[in-house]
Amino acid sequence: MEKFTEWRDQGTGVPPFLPAMPSLSQEKGFRGFYHNCVALGRLTIASPFLILAVIVGINRISKSLVKFGLVILCNWNLQVSIQGVRRTEQRSVHMPQKNHMYMVNYSSPLDCVALWFLADGPVKFCIASDVQGSSLVELGIWQFFKFTLQGSLPEGSDFGRKVTKFSNLQDKVVFVFPEGTCSNGKSVLGLVLNQQSLDQFLDENDDAREIGVSTGAKHTKSSVPVARKKVQTIQLKIKSTLATPLSLGLWKYLVRMTTQGVTYKCKISEPIPADLDDIRVSLAGGDKFKLVNRKLNLRSKRAFVKAYGERRR
């Protein structure tokens, strides 16, 4: 992998675009065949619950059905910690709420599923894009899943639906992915979303608009400019071999899910200023020394993907 040192951060030594691969024996030969059979069997058992969830529609019942199906499929486990809140105090009031915005790191197609389970209300996923300048694009759950498995590189003006104002997403739990593309989960990439675009999205000059922020005790709303500038971050962690910095086939990913099991660790921060420097540090667990160079971003990932593809030919 010496050829890819250009995309390795000199300070941390982290190569954020290199995928962590399972051992070859897990996906080849007799063992690989066995894992494929196990995946097919688990999918067959889980499918009725997942199909019924689609028929029922988006509500608490469908969440329970999907969760049960995923437990069968991949031993789904979601572990949540909330900064400033004891585990014994964690109730739905501390989970992501409607009319709130949460900045999230991006490492897997399952990120949207984990966030959907966390949300106390209908959700919207907004991914930063550089196709038409720095902007935010809205994707549905299936769009998000498909886009991520395809390599999470936005191409063309028809990529999703551009969203310009937070106020256009009323009564929704809004999750924003400022990196704009997947990493391998070892650090936080340079952000595609710039401060000007974020300020315009929040529409900070409109004092009549309210953005709820989370406090240590409860969620509140305020029309005061300082409160309106507050957001929360959600740091997601998944097993490195399930992170998808590069494109991956749906069936291969499904086999990895069933073979390795899926455990998510989610850390919800206290409200912080809507400043991208602070947000990026928070997404790295509050340790700025874990961050890679800002130049390791969506733009440099495109160059990496091209070089990586040529190397594998």
DSSP secondary structure of 246-290: S---HHHHHHHHHHH--EEEEEEPPPEES-HHHHHHHHTTT-GGG
Q: Are 108 and 183 in the same domain?
A: yes
pLDDT reading at 251 higher than 50: yes
1 belongs to a structural domain: no
Do both 81 and 57 map to the same domain? no
What is the pTM (predicted TM-score) of this model? Answer: 0.88
Residue 247 lies in a domain: yes
Shared domain check, 174 and 59 = no
Establish if 5 belongs to a structural domain.
no
Say if residue 43 is in the same domain as residue 167: no
Query: 96 Cβ partners below 8 Å, 6+ apart?
Result: 102, 115, 118, 119, 120, 121, 173, 175, 232, 234, 268
Whether residues 105 and 190 fall in one domain: yes
Asked if residue 126 and residue 51 are part of one domain, the reply reads no
Judge whether residue 59 has pLDDT over 90. no
Residues 126 and 252 in one domain: yes
In this prediction, residue 294 carries a pLDDT of 94
Q: Indicate whether 136 and 165 sit together in one domain.
A: yes
Which amino acid, 59?
Answer: N
Which domain-ending residue is among 14, 41, 74? 74
Which domain, by its residues, includes 296? 77-85+93-308
Mean pLDDT of 28-54: 93
Confidence class for position 313, pLDDT limits 50, 70, 90 = low
Q: Is residue 3 part of a domain?
A: no
Q: How far is CA 45 from CA 50, 108, 145, 207, 301, in A?
A: 10, 24, 22, 52, 38
Confidence of residue 312 (pLDDT cuts 50, 70, 90): low
Band of residue 90 on the pLDDT scale cut at 50, 70, 90: low
Identify the weakest region by mean pLDDT among 92-106, 147-161, 230-244.
147-161
In this structure, are 243 and 210 located in the same domain?
yes
157 & 278 share domain: yes
Is residue 13 situated within a structural domain? no
With cut-offs at 50, 70 and 90, classify the pLDDT of residue 310: confident
Q: How many domains does the chain have?
A: 2
Q: Is residue 225 part of a domain?
A: yes
